[in-house]
Amino acid sequence: MSNFSTYLKPVLIFAAIILTMPFWFPFLGGYEGLDTKILIWAIFALGFDLLLGYTGYLSFGHAAFFGVSAYITGLMLLHFSDNIIPAMIASVIVTLIIALLIGLLTLKRSGIYFSILTLAFAEMFHSAALSMFQDWTGGDNGLTGIPTPMLFGLRMQDMTVYYFVAIIAIILFYVAIRISRSPFGIMLRAIKSNQHRLEFTGVNVYKYKVFAFVVSAFYATIAGSLMVIYEPYVASEFLDWSTSGHLVIMSVLGGVGTLFGPMFGAAFMLYFENVVSVPLGEQWLLALGLMFMMVVIFLPGGFVDGVRKLKRKFAAKEEA
Amino acid sequence: MSGQLINQIFLQVMTGLQLGAIYVLIALGLTLIFGTLGVVNFAHGALYMLGAYLAVNIANSIGFGWAIVVVPFVLFAFGIAMERGLIRFFYNRPHTDQILVTFGLAIVIQEVLKWIFGANNLPFSMPSWGSGIVRMHEWVPFLEGFVAYPKWRLILIAVSFATVFGVFALLQFTRFGLIIRAGMRDPDMMKFLGVNISRRFTIVFGLGALIAGIAGIFGGPVTQVDPEVGMHMLVPSFLVVVIGGMGSIPGAVLAGFLLGMALSFTAEYAAIQQIIIYLVAVVVLLVRPRGLFGQKGLME
Amino acid sequence: MTKEKTNNSADWSRRKVLKAGAASAVALSTPMFFTRNAWAEKEAIGNFPIKGSSVKFGFNVPQTGAYADEGADELRAYKLAVKHLNGGGGMLNTLKPSSLKGNGVLGKKVEYVTGDTQTNPDAARTAARRMIDRDGVIMYGGGSSSAVAIAQQYLAQEKGVVFMCGLTHSNDTTGKDKRRYGFRHFFNAYMSGKALGPILAKEYGKDRRAFHLTADYTWGHTQYQSIKEFTEKEGWTTVNNIMTPLKSTDFSQFLTSVLNSDADVLVLNHYGKNMINSLSQAVEFGMREMQKNGKQMEIVVPLYSRLMAQGAGAANIDGVFGSTNWNWTLQDEGSQAFVKAFVKEYGFPPSQAAHTCYVQTLLYANACEMAGTFYPPEVIKAMEDFEFEGTSPGKTLYRGADHQCFKDILVVKGKAPSKQSGKYDLLDIVSQAKREDVIYPADTFKGELGPYKPA
């Protein structure tokens, strides 16, 4: 019974925040469209945290899943049907198969090799999309001419898209929380703290790692698909290393391993890029880069950890 | 073999050497740093970029010759500062943290350069003593007809070989090199023997940065100098290090020149050209994870 | 136990409140969503109707990336256009027929916002969306890359906001990717090919073997196709073509392939920084001094501009043939009015990129005046099949079937440093190709414009 509230409380708070976002966001300088983008990246970051935060494996290649899923959704909408459901299903199936293959191959190696390998795979997909597959992907142009996505007669535009994404985000957040508090989640954290010791106890660590990787890729896949539904255009940049790089930055800034942290990081980074950048100018990424380094050096737990420390300080002050 | 064919192969080999030259220099620094400190320096491409930016500014104001003298020293100092001021706090932290902090540093350096110099590239022309063509057919006996190659690119190849040789000589023939090689094998043993290995390793980090600086001076006119070039050079260089074997210097050199050759000989087949390095890296990592010359068991 | 119970009931009521709150929030928002359109007499499309006494234009130009030099000039031209629209001057005095009065557009003062496309379609779209969603622009323009232009045209069609292309040369922009909400004044690769083919054959002979290096994206591809088509018509052979990645800065491996072939002409389908690098490197590799097949090796750059010539250096551009949309040395009334105003404002003559952006802005404003409204379908109809003069030599037609302008264009040759009469006198106008010689039937390229209302 108490389990209910531990799962539902964060989800409900989250739901309350994002369902009302279109109303309070403009007061912060946000505009329509930006809130949808924030939610999509939040989903992306959430999945990434399930990998980095729980298993400790740093992937520099998640852009591959985001981008491939986006391209497949786009191509399905363009050539098959403008209904988003078959498009999303196709994206999930194809991208997860690719993720499984990549995961099986890369997770055999240690953390550093894993990071480099994931980066290599992502760059490979990026180059292939620009050259070998340009007849399909549109090359440097990107995938253009995608019709307005429909959900059984509902045009996916503006507010409709926002609430569709919001509902998916709420569901996925709930799923993430359940995973993290499940025995599986505990296993993942054991992998992060000492993989070899776990292996000695007879656990098939490899299996858990691959599963976590695929789950993480699933979130990336959904995010990529939603991105195309929100903005019917696929840019080759979706597969660029900087997409993976931004994901890393926002997750670390927010607080790796806290689920909520990376989502907040996503909101923070996008807000910074689109709203704060106006007075700050071109240097928003410099400011974020510096913040990132400060966090890595002094506050590795990110924003969430920072808040926790502040809370403790105030609690201590009260007691004293 | 027909004269035409020999000419063609010769030209493609020259281009391969020249393309590989820059990657070799960057990979050399990367592998040295990894082999000694065990640090994967995601900021190494940014060091190359710093070298190039410094070089172009000095060359355009007081002359290219000064750039050749000044830049290596500045980069050496920067490397030492980087190691002492930042990296050494991360030796006891998880590997991912090392990657994250050097990645962050790379982004910061990139953005600072963008801020100061703008996002467009700075024109970096070759000095007059380095421009023009060399009539290769006057030097190489088996060439027929008129075969020319840009002088600067030949200089680049020569500089690359000289640097590699210099590093090799340093490691093989000096006492310092002996200590480094021993430290790469077993740093703890060196500490027990009373050798201040961490100070030596700091110097190696500076050395890695210095080599990246040299690459920046001579490679700058070829790759152009803009804020994106750092990351652009880093990814293939990483893969070169991985293919050659992490911590192996002959591996980095061989893999770097091989990559250059691959790029040169596949120039006409654009589709393959773009992805060849990634394919090779993935295959090597799966089949022989330690790379061409890497040590078994290290980082597998 | 009892503690749990009280917690539960507290939880339940909190949940109820939250649920109700969320539901009412959604409910409250829907009416606004559906009734927004009921306000204007003409339905709302894009950012029409405009509220307030000013109208906003958006200028999305490459401020960074391969085409940044052109982008800077485009922005200068846009600012000048807004100045003239609001206060008269420049081509307002030469454009015929013109309904512009020099007091803004339809009585509203013109303001503008800018964005950076970074020579990258995704960044361009993001900036464009910002200008449309946040800043409320009624029209936006700019861009120096066809990929960027095409991406923005599609966005224009989706959002119902007119896009006036900047510098885009690909056939696709008004060919297979033509859109009702997009308009292009600048010429295209097909016209370049048609104009250049005969002149190249006359100058270099009909028995030439050409090797192409092509920027690997829409513009490069279409220019390669057009140049190949028109040179082969004259008797040339196309030996090979290599698609070079747009981000390349070092072309040495491709140039080596060129040297290794039996081609005696190098055609560079490159623009901006790509062209500056590839041309300089080609010269570095000794291609100007070489003899192949008993002939002097030649280099052709089918599209280049004075800005690129400056970047490549006069020594490298000497004698290289190409084509341009316009040049500041043209003596017709409209061109001179623009050049004089630009020089007065900035101290140096404008590039072809500046010219096309300036003209596009004036044409859009004029169309609004002619239509008497900002309502996009009416403005679009006013521009279609509009014939005008006073912006460049001769009469220009804005063809309705594909939203492409047809006018006289120029074949140029780079000037040797010794022959230049000033820092900006880099191009020799070899010939002015007449509009009737470069025009082609509307069905030469596939693609459909699409509807007048946003899709």
Q: How far is the alpha carbon of A3 from chain B, nearest alpha carbon, in Å?
A: 33
CB C212 within 8 A of CB C299: no
Cβ count near C206 (within 10 Å): 11
What pLDDT, on a 0 to 100 scale, did the predictor assign at position A319? 65
CB contact, 8 Å: A280 with chain B?
Answer: no
Report d(CA C229, CA C316) in Å as an integer: 27
Please give the structure tokens belonging to residue C116.
């950076």
What pLDDT, on a 0 to 100 scale, did the predictor assign at position C194? 92
CB contacts, 8 Å: C249 with chain B: 121, 223-224, 226, 229
Beta-strand pair C182-183/C139-142: unpaired
Examine the pLDDT at A112 and tell me if it is beyond 90: no
Query: Where does A80-182 have alpha helices with state H?
Result: 84-106, 111-130, 134-137, 158-180
Which CATH fold topology does C54-187+328-407 show?
Rossmann fold (3.40.50)
Report d(CA B111, CA B108) in Å as an integer: 5
Q: At what angle do helices A260-271 and A34-55 cross, to 10 degrees?
A: 140
What pLDDT, on a 0 to 100 scale, did the predictor assign at position C455? 64
Examine the pLDDT at A120 and tell me if it is beyond 90: no
What pLDDT, on a 0 to 100 scale, did the predictor assign at position A90? 93
| Residue listed under structure tokens 């994870």 | B289
Q: How far is the first Cα of chain C from the last one, in angstroms, to the nearest whole number?
A: 60
User: What mean pLDDT, rounded, does chain A reach?
Assistant: 86
Name the residue ranges covered by the structural domains of chain B: 27-230
Element of type H or E holding B34: helix B3-37
Choice between A112 and C83, residue whose per-residue pLDDT is larger: C83
CATH number for the domain harbouring residue A122: 1.10.3470
Report d(CA B30, CA B26) in Å as an integer: 6
A237–C21 C-beta distance less than 8 A: no
State what percent of residues in chain A have pLDDT above 70.
Answer: 96
Q: How far is the alpha carbon of A31 from chain C, nearest alpha carbon, in Å?
A: 6
Cβ count near B155 (within 10 Å): 19
Contacts of C342 (CB under 8 A, 6+ apart): C76, C77, C80, C349, C350, C354
CB contact, 8 Å: C120 with chain A?
Answer: yes
Report d(CA C210, CA C265) in Å as an integer: 5
Name the residue ranges covered by the structural domains of chain C: 54-187+328-407, 190-324
Name the closest residue on chain A to residue B90, using Cα atoms: A297
Residue range of the domain that includes A63: 2-319
User: Is the domain defined by C190-324 classed in CATH 3.20.20.140?
Assistant: no
From the list B120, B133, B274, which residue is nearest C64 (CB)?
Answer: B120
Examine the pLDDT at A134 and tell me if it is beyond 90: no
Radius of gyration of chain B (CA): 20
What pLDDT, on a 0 to 100 scale, did the predictor assign at position B43? 94
Q: At what angle do helices B229-244 and B3-37 cross, to 10 degrees?
A: 90
Report d(CA C54, CA C105) in Å as an integer: 9
Please give the structure tokens belonging to residue B231.
């990351």
From the list C21, C154, C243, which residue is nearest A144 (CB)?
Answer: C154
Q: State yes or no: cis peptide before A22, omega within 30 of 0.
A: no
| Residue listed under structure tokens 């006198």 | C425
What pLDDT, on a 0 to 100 scale, did the predictor assign at position B45? 93
ipTM computed for the complex: 0.86
Name the closest residue on chain C to residue B154, using Cα atoms: C285
Q: How far is the alpha carbon of A90 from chain B, nearest alpha carbon, in Å?
A: 26
From start to end of chain B, where are the E strands? 133-135, 148-150
Report d(CA C227, CA C208) in Å as an integer: 13
What pLDDT, on a 0 to 100 scale, did the predictor assign at position C404? 94
CB contacts, 8 Å: C247 with chain B: 228, 232
- For each of chain B's 300 residues, which pLDDT tens digit applies? 466 788 888 889 999 999 999 999 999 999 999 888 888 899 999 999 999 999 999 988 888 888 899 999 999 999 999 999 998 888 888 878 888 999 999 999 999 998 888 777 787 888 888 887 888 777 887 777 777 888 899 999 999 999 999 999 998 899 888 888 888 778 788 888 888 888 888 999 999 999 999 999 999 888 888 888 888 888 889 889 988 988 888 999 999 999 899 888 888 877 777 788 888 887 887 788 777 887 655 544
Let me know how long chain C is: 455
Burial annotation A111-146 (CB, 10 A radius, 16+ → b, else e)? bbbbbbbbbbbbbbbbbbbbbbebeebbbbbbbbbb
Contacts of A314 (CB under 8 A, 6+ apart): none
Examine the pLDDT at A281 and tell me if it is beyond 80: no
Closest CA to A180 of A264, A262, A66, A247: A262
Q: At what angle do helices A302-319 and A241-254 cross, to 10 degrees?
A: 10
How confident is the model over C191-208, as pLDDT tens digits?
Answer: 999 999 999 999 999 999
Name the closest residue on chain C to residue B17, using Cα atoms: C253
Closest CA to A256 of A302, A297, A298: A302
Examine the pLDDT at A18 and tell me if it is beyond 90: no
Please give the structure tokens belonging to residue C291.
């003899």
* Segments in chain C below pLDDT 70: 1-41, 66, 455
Q: How far is the first Cα of chain A from the last one, in angstroms, to the nearest whole number?
A: 35
What pLDDT, on a 0 to 100 scale, did the predictor assign at position A1? 44
Number of structural domains found in chain A: 1
Residue A277's pLDDT band (cuts 50, 70, 90): confident
CB contacts, 8 Å: C253 with chain B: 15, 19, 263-264, 267
Report d(CA A137, CA C121) in Å as an integer: 14
Name the closest residue on chain C to residue B12, using Cα atoms: C256
CB contact, 8 Å: B297 with chain A?
Answer: no
From start to end of C235-311, where are the E strands? 237-244, 265-269, 291-292, 295-296, 298-303
Residue A68's pLDDT band (cuts 50, 70, 90): very high
Cβ count near C176 (within 10 Å): 16
CB C172 within 8 A of CB C58: no
Examine the pLDDT at A39 and tell me if it is beyond 80: yes
| Residue listed under structure tokens 């191959």 | A105
How confident is the model over C204-231, as pLDDT tens digits?
Answer: 999 999 999 999 888 899 999 999 999 9
Assign residue A152 a region (left: φ > 0; alpha: ψ between -120 and 50; beta: otherwise): left
Contacts of B227 (CB under 8 A, 6+ apart): B49, B110, B111, B113, B114, B117, B119
Element of type H or E holding C333: helix C333-346
What pLDDT, on a 0 to 100 scale, did the predictor assign at position A266? 93
Q: State yes or no: cis peptide before C62, omega within 30 of 0.
A: no
CB contact, 8 Å: B184 with chain A?
Answer: no
Q: State yes or no: cis peptide before C49, omega within 30 of 0.
A: yes
Report d(CA C145, CA C67) in Å as an integer: 7
What pLDDT, on a 0 to 100 scale, did the predictor assign at position C17? 52
Cβ count near C89 (within 10 Å): 16
Mind giving me the DSSP string for B233-255?
HHHHHHHHHHHH-TT-HHHHHHH
What's the one-letter identity of residue B109? Answer: I
CB pairs under 8 A between A and B: 109
From start to end of C51-148, where are the E strands? 54-61, 109-116, 139-142
